[in-house]
Chain A
Amino acid sequence: MWVHGYKRLNRHMWLHRIIRHMLIVSATVLFGGFLGATLVRVAPGFGVDEQQLDTRLSNESVQAIRHSRDSERDIFGFYTQYLGGLFRGNLGFSHSLGRPVTQLLAERVPVTFYSVIKGLVGGWLVGLVLALSAAMLRSKTYDFACTLASGFFLCLPSAVLAILFLLIQGPVPLGIGLTVFPKIFRYARNLLVQAYALPHVLTAQSKGLSGGRILFWHVLPLATPQLVALAGASVTVALGAAIPIEVVCDSPGIGQLAWLAALGRDLPVLVVLTILVTVITVLANATADLAISALRHRPS
């Protein structure tokens, strides 16, 4: 009976957490999209189309171009119309690319998705392996070499990194991975070095426990919740890096689409992309948060 009560309480707690995260996701999406649309709306130059400067066009044609964007001028109208369309699966029409946004996303989201996933996996692997070896070996020279390498990539703008990749014909995911890895390395290294300096770990070492046992039983359980939180945050870093890298490397993903839409002053595409990336970011952070809760509440 006591076990039943505990299980019910646990289930209730998880349900509460999941509902809370879903509410946060919905609120963030609504507010994020609205903020994105408002920023675009209030920015100077909104509604200006380069086509209007074409001297070959008649007055009527210029007026027609202006009127074609009338529905976007009222921000509340635009956003309500947009939300209505969203529920019907209509994400709007791209003025600059002349195609439905849904079609553009269907083509480009998988490209960025695979690049970001591969980049994240690669970045995490390199970052964690280097951090673990730096914390376990305790060699000043090795630590300095790793810090220097990560520091170099940390100081490079991702767009320049992409240009270097063009030079060696490197793949896009590697560029994203090299943007993510220094942040993972720096954070994980500090975390692991601190964990290895804890009294109970030092005692375990002095009692002659093997390196693997110390790592898996005493160090990683302490560091895992923070590393999981970092995993959520690294998704944002990877998506941010995808824009300049995709643009420079001419990879047809959503980063390049955002850039093309920005150059073409394409409001529907930009708002959809802002919302999409916000959803991915919030979901990644919510998943990390739930995973941390699961780790903290797991039976010992």
Chain B
Amino acid sequence: MKPRRQFAVGILILVFLASLMANQLAPVSYSHQFRESANAPPSHEFPLGTDDLGRDRLSRLLYGSRISLLLAPVAALIATALAALVGGTAGYLGGWWERVGMGFSDLFMSLPWLFLLLTFRAMLPLNVSPLASVIITFTLLGLLGWAAAARVVCAGARALRNSEFVLQARTHGCGDFRLLIWHVLPPLKPVLYAQFWISIPVFILSEANLGVLGLGVAEPLPSWGNLLRDLENYRAALTSPWLLAPLFLLVLVVACFQTVLPEEDLP
């Protein structure tokens, strides 16, 4: 592994561990308010200051990292599983199955999924719980982001369809379902792994965009998206550089994800 990739993996592990240990590392709960210290600058008590509701920014950043970093891979897993299912079946069965499967993925690729996401997220009831909003946001990201990966998987499955080991397994009476699950999809693991890895930063950025628009994870739960909303007051960000901490962490993590993936696997 190149030193650059080792460095990126190291940073990702560090950030993942810090977010997983948010309970231990965060000075206070993400929703605890110090009303007498609203908008406080960094100090010994609040290393990144407090927000306008008096909540500790460092605690919110740690808990927010946990939500973004744990749920973006879950959404990527959903998207990759769907891509394996649709692309694998279409590529392996061929003929009409392939045409329908790929037509469906083409359709999904041409849909303006940010518009759909925006629509669906805004249609949630006004009293939706923050936890439900998190789950719905990331599940939707996963359900809408499978199409491009499905095309790649389909091409791989198509190449394997008439390979010797598949023909041999078929002559031994192996059923289509068993063939697909045990013989066609396992050799496609590197493709699926690359698609999974590519999807994570895409979903992190999508959640961040939704969060800035006020349609991401609902308050008081923190996520990188809604923490970035503080930057809307950009004049304050100029005089208070600690407001840029969530942006710095987001850019760092997304850059690390892109560095970890080999160049040839990038779309």
Contacts and interface: CB of A to CB of B under 8 A. Distances in A.
A155 B255 contact: yes
Contacts of A157: 205, 208-209, 212, 228, 250
B1 interface: no
Nearest to A280: B112
Interface stretch (A5-13, A131-139, A271-279): A271-279
A281 B115 CA distance: 13
A27 B104 CA distance: 11
Contact of B215 (A163, A262, A282): A262
A226 to B, nearest CB: 12
Interface residues of B, number: 42
A48 B111 contact: no
A258 interface: yes
A127 to B, nearest CB: 15
B209 A159 contact: yes
A157 B250 CA distance: 9
A85 interface: no
A46 B123 contact: yes
Interface in B62-117: 106-107, 109-116
Interface in A170-194: 186-187, 190
Contacts of A106: none
B165 interface: no
A164 B109 CA distance: 29
Interface in A1-37: 24, 27-28, 31-32, 35-36
Interface in A246-300: 247-248, 258-259, 262-263, 265, 270, 273-274, 277-278, 281-282, 285
Contacts of B164: none
Contacts of A239: 112
A285 B234 contact: no
Contact of A240 (B114, B123, B125, B267): B114
Contacts of A46: 123
Contact of A244 (B122, B209, B251, B255): B209
A77 interface: no
Interface residues of A, number: 52
Contacts of A166: 234
A84 interface: no
Contacts of B166: none
B115 A243 contact: yes
Contact of A258 (B115, B125, B231, B258): B115
Contact of A277 (B112, B125, B201, B214): B112
Contacts of A199: none
Nearest to B208: A157
A48 B118 contact: no
Contacts of A45: 123-126, 128
Contact of B124 (A35, A44, A163): A44
Contacts of B114: 240, 243
B129 to A, nearest CB: 11
Contacts of B231: 160, 163
Interface string B117-140: 011111111101000000000000
Interface in A114-158: 151-152, 154-158
Given A154-B258, A263-B122, A186 B266 contact: yes
B207 to A, nearest CB: 9
Given A39-B119, A167-B238, A243-B115, A32 B107 contact: yes
A44 B136 CA distance: 11
B255 A274 contact: no
Nearest to A284: B110
B212 A151 contact: no
A158 B228 CA distance: 12
A248 B210 CA distance: 12
B110 A159 contact: no
A48 B126 contact: yes
> Sorted from nearest, which 5 A-B pairs have the closest CB atoms?
A262-B122, A159-B212, A43-B123, A45-B125, A277-B112
Interface of B: 106-107, 109-116, 118-126, 128, 201, 205, 208-209, 212-215, 228, 231-232, 234, 238, 247, 250-251, 254-255, 258, 263, 266-267
15 contacts: A28-B107, A32-B107, A36-B115, A40-B123, A44-B128, A48-B126, A151-B258, A160-B247, A163-B234, A166-B234, A190-B263, A243-B118, A258-B118, A259-B118, A281-B111
